[in-house]
Amino acid sequence: MAIDKETAERIDQPVPAEAEREARLTPAEAVERMRINVPVRGNRKLRTLIERVNTDAQLKGWWHVSNVNAVARMEINDHSWVHIQIVANIALKLLRQLTKHGVEPAMVRDYSMTSDDAEVVVTLAALMHCIGMSIHRHGHEDFSLFLAEPKMRELLTGIYDEPERTVVVSEALQAIISHRADGEPLTTDAGIVRVADALDMAKGRSRIGFERGRVSMHSLSAAAIEDVTITDGEERPVLIEIRMNNSSGLFQSGLEPYVEVVAHIDTETEQRLVPMYRLEV
């Protein structure tokens, strides 16, 4: 199988250098560097949540151990706090794109709560979707649930009273369990987190796990991705454009019927549009 030098190098080194460095820090050093930044806009509940997250050493400790397991021990893709921040930002972007185009979040439709509450749900789920990796890769989505539930309640104390706090926690947990390979999101809010996790795939960051140095269609697909952009769609509310350096393949997961995906192949030898991929829940 003939592949270009740059793609081959990415397959040989599937873990970003930054994530590898983070995995070698002491716990105290690693936690000190972590700070989540998301555009809270006018959402005071979300602002308070992020402020609390940024002072929570236990949550940051889970992120660090998750990355050590992924990067130092298993040599798979980045599971550091950088991944967490990227997923949280993508999730908020997707949610706001959908609400902008009139797609009602489940928190609004099913509970008569607000879009601000939906933002809290998807952010909470994004922040804790893979903390179970601190225990083990296999079944980490399930492990994330029992770690996340009491932590979510702690972080939301004073932001929500009961029964609303239980609603927010339950919806966030549903989003976490739905991001596994055979997950079946019951809401658009949960589907957003599933897609956001998959879309941390810009150059050198694909969520497709592959073994160091092992060439396969999965590793080629991961290494081929250069950039991802999320914008308004023409036929659907959201357009996700993925720029690739060769036509080796595409990892996809999603939010039908609201999202369309277009993959552009752009190299010296290939400049063509791959047929549109429809995302499937």
- Architecture per CATH, domain 16-207, reads as Orthogonal Bundle (1.10)
197 alpha-carbon distance from chain centroid: 2
**pLDDT classification of 27: cutoffs 50, 70, 90:** confident
pLDDT of residue 243 exceeding 80, the answer is no
Cα torsion at 204, 205, 208, 210 (round to 10°)?
Answer: 50
**pLDDT classification of 257: cutoffs 50, 70, 90:** low
Q: Please choose, from the candidates 175, 92, 169, 180, the residue with its C-alpha nearest in 3D space to the C-alpha of residue 133.
A: 180
CA dist list (Å): 234 to 5, 96, 231, 247: 36, 16, 10, 24
Rounded CA gap, 9 and 222, in Å? 12
pLDDT of residue 170 exceeding 50, the answer is yes
pLDDT of residue 34 exceeding 80, the answer is yes
**Mean of all residue pLDDT scores within the chain:** 75
Q: Is 118 helix (H, G, I), strand (E, B) or coil?
A: helix
261 or 129: which leads in pLDDT:
129
